[in-house]
Structure formats: C-alpha cells, structure tokens
C-alpha cells in the first residue's frame, strides 16, 4: 500500500472559533456549578449539582471536540460512526463524575487532586481518540505521531488538575472574602483559560494522527455514518440548550437563597 499521499485538509476558522466558545462557556458554567456542588448541602442536593457539573463539563468538552473535528475539512468523503460518536460522549461524562466525587470526598491534598485529575484527564483522552476513531474517511488510514499524542495526554491531565483545583477553591471559604465583581472576574478569566486548555488538548490530539490515502477508488464514497452538517446543527443546538438550562438552574437556585454570599462554607463534602 502506498502511504506517501497524505489527505489534503484545510481548517475552517469559524468552526475553530465556535469550538473555543463552547469550551469556554462550558468551563465558565462548570465553575459556577462548582461552588454549589462542594457546599454542605443535603446529600441529594449535593449530588444534583455534581451530576449537573459533570454533564455540563463532559458534554461541553465532547461538543467542542466534534465542532473541532468539523473544522478539519478534508478533500475526501467523511462522516461519523453513530455508535462511536454517542459512546465517546458518554465516556466524557462517565469519567468526570467519579473524578468530581473523589475531589469532594475529603480535604484537598496533592494526591487527591492528582487522582481526580488523572481520571478526568484520561477520560477526556479516551473520549477524544474514540471520537477520532468515529471519524470515517473511506480509502484512508491513520498513522500515529507519538510526540503530540503523549503531549495531548499530559495537557488533558494537567488541565483537569488545574480545573479541579479551581473547583475546590470556589467551594471554600476563600469565596466569602471576595467581592461579587471580583469573583465574577476570577470565574470569567478562569473559564477563558480553561477553554483554551481544552481546545489546546483537542488540536494537539488531532496532530497525533496523520491520514494517508491507501485506496483512491474509495475516497469519494460515503461510509453511511452521520452527515457532518447534520452533526454540526445537532451539537450546536444541544450545546447551547444544555448550557442555557444550567444557567437557568443557577439563577433559580440563587433566587431561592442559594447565592454564595448566603451559603455555609462548612467542612462538609459532597461525597459524605
């Protein structure tokens, strides 16, 4: 087989910008949810906010990933395998939730932070490469480039640890000493940085696979998966609906007296 001919690709800047907006929005909303997930609420209420946080962050990262994949526009027929596409999204949420449980199960230590960050980071990595496996281009074959692959794993784990540190910070007594505007600025800045780290992992991970043409007769054939334009519409609509629902829940909770200024920053944990 001739592996010398690489698939010709161009990057769509609009999709790249959209992927960052989704990542930054999901990061910011997850920071808002973190302050509620880590408080000394009843067990059922605390679990609700942890699940909400896992859904928003996990789905947000998954949505960013597929919008980022759509930004990679190739000159061969491409589609997404339905089963692997859905499975990759479930992986992200399924790995982030137990990581959040570990994070809030006791006092914050480097070991606890490393364990939670590693579980979430590896979940993001598995989600990413499962999603890339779902990206079907008949007549092509992917070859691994090890340096960006290893770098993508390190970025995912490192970014998760930083994010989880911020989550605990926002559910600690530190919050009660901040002004409302100051706290908003911290969350906004952290959300923008987290969004950059998330897409940094994604595009580094994409550089870990080079696609080569192995059968030119098949490169123009569709593989029968989900059409990319349809996926873009579904992901975009669901992303903003989910983030909007999370924001609405936060505002309703604040209206019921759940504002951070009125919360008890006790030593209780979400996993008690």
Residue 217 pLDDT: 62
78: DSSP letter = -
Residue 196 pLDDT: 93
Tokens for 6, please give them.
């690489």
- Check residues 237 and 267 and name the one with the higher pLDDT: 237
- Check residues 77 and 112 and name the one with the higher pLDDT: 112
Single pTM value for the model: 0.81
Report, as an integer, the average pLDDT of 35-59: 72
Burial of 40 (0-12, 13-18, 19+ CB in 10 A): middle
CB 170 within 8 A of CB 94: no
d(CA 175, CA 95): 27
Tokens for 166, please give them.
């911020």
Residue 106 pLDDT: 85
Could you identify the residue written with the tokens 């880590």? 38
Coarse DSSP helix, strand, coil percentages of the chain, rounded to the nearest 5 percent: 70, 10, 20
* pLDDT tens, residue by residue, 177-216: 888 888 888 888 999 999 999 999 999 999 998 888 777 6
d(CA 254, CA 231): 34
Residue 218 pLDDT: 61
Most confident of 89-98, 111-120, 235-244, 247-256: 111-120
């Amino acid at each position: 087989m001739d592996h010398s001919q690489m698939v010709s690709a161009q990057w769509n800047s609009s999709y790249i910008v959209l992927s960052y907006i989704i990542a930054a929005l999901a990061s910011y909303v997850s920071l808002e949810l973190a302050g509620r997930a880590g408080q000394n609420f009843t067990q059922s209420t605390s679990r609700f906010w942890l699940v909400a946080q896992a859904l928003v962050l996990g789905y947000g990262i998954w949505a960013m990933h597929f919008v980022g994949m759509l930004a990679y526009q190739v000159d061969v027929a491409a589609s997404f395998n339905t089963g692997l596409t859905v499975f990759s999204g479930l992986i992200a949420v399924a790995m982030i939730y137990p990581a959040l449980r570990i994070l809030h199960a006791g006092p914050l230590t480097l070991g606890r932070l490393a364990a939670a960050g590693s579980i979430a980071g590896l979940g993001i990595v598995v989600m990413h490469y499962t999603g890339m496996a779902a990206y079907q281009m008949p007549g092509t074959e992917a070859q691994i480039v090890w340096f960006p692959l290893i770098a993508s794993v390190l970025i995912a784990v490192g970014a998760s640890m930083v994010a989880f540190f911020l989550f605990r910070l926002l559910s600690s007594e530190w919050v009660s000493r901040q002004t409302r505007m100051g706290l908003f600025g911290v969350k906004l800045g952290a959300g923008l940085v987290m969004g950059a780290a998330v897409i940094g992992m994604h595009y580094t991970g994409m550089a870990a696979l080079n696609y080569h043409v192995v059968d030119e007769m098949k490169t123009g054939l569709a593989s029968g998966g989900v059409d990319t334009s349809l996926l873009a519409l579904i992901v975009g609509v669901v992303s903003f609906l989910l983030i909007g629902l999370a924001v609405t829940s936060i505002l309703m909770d604040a209206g019921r007296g759940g504002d951070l200024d009125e919360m008890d920053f006790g030593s209780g944990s979400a996993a008690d």
